[in-house]
Amino acid sequence: MVVGKDHRASQPATTDSAAQLGQSLHSVELQLLVRQLNILNRLLATVPSVLWVFDPNAERVLYVSPAYEEVFGLPLGQVLEDCEHWYSVVHADDVAALKASVKRTIEHGETQEQEYRILRDGKLRWIRDRSYLSADDDDGRPLVVGIAEDITENKHLHCELERLATEDGLTQCQNRNHFMRCAGFELTRAQENGLPLGFLMLDVDDFKQINDEHGHQVGDQVLRQLAECGRHVLRRGDPFGRVGGEEFAAVLVNCPPAQGRQIAERLRDAISVLTVKSLQGPVQITASIGLCWLRPGDYLDGLYRRADQAMYAAKSAGKNCIIECH
């Protein structure tokens, strides 16, 4: 009789093998997980934006990506230890708005985008921060997830493009298009609110002669000095721009006629004492000025045309004077 093997006697060995296999698989999974985390961390280290997770209940930052140190200039450990360190570099005027933005995300689940300034290495930098409400996969607690990026260069580029689009390159006052937009806005505001409004046009006297006798560099300097004089004499908030070669215009906002005449006369006086150096000696500058006032039902074109006609009437009257058109 053939006696078979006792399978019960070999069971412990099978159980041990299964346990060893399980431990081996668990070890492989852990190694794979660690490897994936290392790869993820290396990838995140190359991302210039700051990824962050905030627990509003515990009032602490659960995660912030390595870019935080580069963007905000603070060690990761500080903000993970105390979230107030995040606000410590934010410009004082922007802290309240930033906190309010995070609060709206927490309380209403609103996706928020906030731009704010930080002080890093003694210089102001601009940050754009987007945040939205999420939830923890394990216990469902609310989490605020966000991404912050340095937009300083974009801000500078935007400001430069805006300057180029609105500013006259030679005189640094408003260019024609921007001035006319501002003038149209002020005209509408004056009509809606029943406010007085004046429109002033001025033209440099004998400008062609100045260019012909002294050269265009001297002519350019004449325009620069006149523009600087206008910015100094006119009130803050009065649109002032170069609308033609040697023609400038200004809107006298909420300005009664008596006050407007005084402003125009101060401007004419200030221009008349300006001189520009040239090889032939000092060049005297004067300007002819036309002035008119907003009428009921006026359009910008009509206001501009009346001021322009008054300006040419001032030239015909002998130059270096003011003609008012009612």
Determine the 3-state secondary structure of 313 from DSSP. Answer: helix
Q: How confident is the model at residue 256 (pLDDT cuts 50, 70, 90)?
A: very high
Residue 207 sits in the same domain as residue 229: yes
141 in the same domain as 279: no
In a domain, 37, yes or no: no
- 21: pLDDT strictly greater than 70: no
Given this model, what pLDDT does residue 18 score? 52
Residues tagged active-site? 246
Number of domains in the chain: 2
- Grade residue 40 by pLDDT with cuts at 50, 70 and 90: low
- Provide the domain limits for residue 140: 45-157
pLDDT of residue 295: 93
Q: What is the 8-class DSSP label of residue 198?
A: E
pLDDT for the residue 3: 36
Q: Do 285 and 320 fall into the same domain?
A: yes
Domain-embedded: residue 24? no
Least confident of 36-45, 75-84, 202-211: 36-45
Q: Are 180 and 151 contained in the same domain? A: no
Statement to judge: residues 126 and 241 lie in one domain: no
Return d(Cα 216, Cα 208) in angstroms, integer: 9
Asked if the model's pLDDT at residue 43 lies above 80, the reply is no
Asked if 67 and 133 sit in the same domain, the reply is: yes
d(CA 230, CA 240): 8
d(CA 238, CA 186): 9
Cβ neighbour number for residue 175 with a 10 Å cutoff:
19
With 90 as the cut, is the pLDDT of residue 321 above it? yes
- Last residue of a domain, which of 129, 157, 185? 157
Looking at per-residue pLDDT, the higher value among 45 and 221 belongs to 221
Q: In what order do the strands lie in the sheet with 60-64?
A: 60-64, 50-55, 142-150, 123-135, 112-120
For residue 6, tell me if it sits in a domain.
no
Distances (CA, A) of 198 to 6, 106, 179, 301: 113, 51, 14, 14
Higher local confidence (pLDDT), 18 or 247 = 247
Q: How many residues does the chain have?
A: 326
Residue 213 has pLDDT above 80, yes or no: yes
Q: Are residues 150 and 279 in the same domain?
A: no
Q: Are residues 190 and 306 in the same domain?
A: yes
Does the pLDDT of residue 229 top 60, yes or no?
yes
Dist. CA 18–CA 24, nearest whole Å: 10
Q: Tell me the average pLDDT across 36-54.
A: 76
* Per-residue confidence (pLDDT) for residue 114, from 0 to 100: 92
Residue 79 has pLDDT above 80, yes or no: yes
pLDDT in tens, 267-281: 999 999 999 999 999
Over residues 197-226, the mean pLDDT reads 96
pLDDT band at residue 22 under the 50/70/90 scheme: low
- Of the pLDDT bands very low, low, confident and very high (cuts 50, 70, 90), residue 20 is low
Q: What is the pLDDT of residue 137?
A: 75
Clarify whether residues 152 and 274 are in a common domain.
no
pLDDT of residue 5: 43
DSSP 201-260: EEEETTHHHHHHHH-HHHHHHHHHHHHHHHHHHSPTT--EEE-SSSEEEEEEET--HHHH
Of the listed ranges 104-108, 176-180, 214-218, 311-315, the one predicted with least confidence:
104-108
CATH number at residue 192: 3.30.70.270
pLDDT category of residue 174 using cuts at 50, 70 and 90: very high
